[in-house]
Amino acid sequence: MANESNLYLRKVIHPQAKDNYRVVLKQDGTEVEIGSIGTTFHRTTMPTWRWGIDTVIPMRELESEGSGLDLKDCMKKFKAAWLRFCEDPARLDEFLAAKRPRHR
């Protein structure tokens, strides 16, 4: 089962992505990008911190995105949402199957 201790951040390397990260789940020797945390600028010069779980399967009943005060706050909120999401093993299996690359 996935848990919060298996999560880490990978910095996005892009000229326009100053404070943007992919959230990576490390499980059974594999790494899967499951979401993102970063800053956005909407109608202001001050950045807004946002977080989101990738919605590769329907997640209507769960909070899958939101905002936070900073990177640490967003990671805390992301982890809490991820743990709620992982409470259903079948949903987690479906999510990971959709995220993992197909072997040909």
Question: Could you give the percent of the chain with pLDDT greater than 90?
Answer: 43
Neighbours of 34 (CB within 10 A): 23
pLDDT at 2 over 60: no
Round to whole Å and give the CA distance between 61 and 38. Answer: 24
What's at 42, amino acid-wise? H
Give every CB contact of residue 46 below 8 A, 6+ residues apart in sequence. none
Band the pLDDT of 5: cuts 50, 70, 90: low
* Closest to 64 (Cα-Cα) out of 48, 80, 49: 80
Global pTM value: 0.83
